[in-house]
Amino acid sequence: MNTFINKKLYALAESDYKAFSQRLISTNYEIVGIRMPALKKLAKELAKNPDIEIYLKNAEYVVYEHILLYGLILGQMKKLPLETVFEYLDPLILRFDNWAHVDTLASTFKIFEKYPDKVFEHFLPLKTDKGEFTKRFFVILLMDYFMDEIHIDMALQQMSEMEQGQYYVDMAMAWAISVGLVKHYDRTLPVLTQKLFSKFVHNKAIQKARESYRITPKVKEILQDMKIK
């Protein structure tokens, strides 16, 4: 199965895109150079293969795209029970070594929207994990699935309790807070005023929020005055 999939995978490689990706993404994996639309199309095709679970149980992880493809295939398998998704996804998360693995795959699992409580409980241990990209996954998960009317306060609290100081975790927090300011300004601003986050996270969140066209000029002025100097 791995040979079959690799043949299809490598057929999509583009040398120019490989060079572009290498400049953008810092990873210990070799980058083949496959554009995301092509990778998603392949994942959708492979997810329909009756033997695809054989691949999920025996996949190889040699190149950067192997991890993306695995996660994308898993996200396409709509009929898998949540617990089975966890079983396949948990070991994959430990292989993430860059922001693109995290950000691309965290939003793939639409099944998570149906079971927010179970998803939160399952991934909560990542909050205190030592790995930079496992913690980033937890933050992006909060941003993608818990920045709604019901969960926004909990999501912000969880982030405020996390250890800060790792660049890719801090950037994810800033991004998530800025999303909170855009979607639920009245709920997020009071948290920001408490200055629970580092100067970097605090100011970067404000910067990102001020870049949004969904934030009014008046609110942008208020946020600018809140920056920590």
Task: Output the pTM of the full model.
Answer: 0.96
Q: What share of the chain is helix, strand, coil (3-state, %, to 5)?
A: 70, 0, 30
- Both tokens of residue 111? 């099944």
Q: Are residues 173 and 128 in the same domain?
A: yes
What's the confidence (pLDDT) of residue 162?
A: 98
Give the domain-ending residue among 111, 130, 157.
Answer: 111
Average pLDDT of the segment spanning 198-212: 97
Q: Are residues 95 and 29 in the same domain?
A: yes
Model confidence pLDDT, tens digit, residues 2-49: 899 999 999 999 999 999 999 999 999 999 999 999 999 999 999 999
Determine the structural domain holding residue 134 and report its residue range. Answer: 115-229
Non-local CB neighbours of 27 within 8 Å, separated by 6+ positions: 64, 97, 98, 100, 101
How far is the C-alpha of 207 from the C-alpha of 115, rounded, in Å? 32
Please state, as a whole number, how many other Cβ atoms lie within 10 Å of the Cβ of residue 84.
14
Q: Are residues 206 and 228 in the same domain?
A: yes
Average pLDDT, rounded, for the chain: 97
Q: Are residues 64 and 127 in the same domain?
A: no
Model confidence pLDDT, tens digit, residues 77-107: 999 999 999 999 999 999 999 999 999 999 9
Q: Are residues 93 and 124 in the same domain?
A: no
Q: Are residues 106 and 123 in the same domain?
A: no
What's the confidence (pLDDT) of residue 97?
A: 98
Q: CA geometry: angle at 204 spanning 192 and 200, to 5°?
A: 85
What's the confidence (pLDDT) of residue 43?
A: 98
Average pLDDT of the segment spanning 130-155: 98
Model confidence pLDDT, tens digit, residues 169-178: 999 999 999 9
Phi/psi of residue 165, each to 5°? 125, -15
Q: Predicted confidence band at 215 (pLDDT cuts at 50, 70, 90)?
A: very high
Q: Are 15 and 33 in contact (CB under 8 A)?
A: yes
Model confidence pLDDT, tens digit, residues 145-158: 999 999 999 999 99
Q: Are residues 144 and 164 in the same domain?
A: yes
Q: How many domains are there within the chain?
A: 2
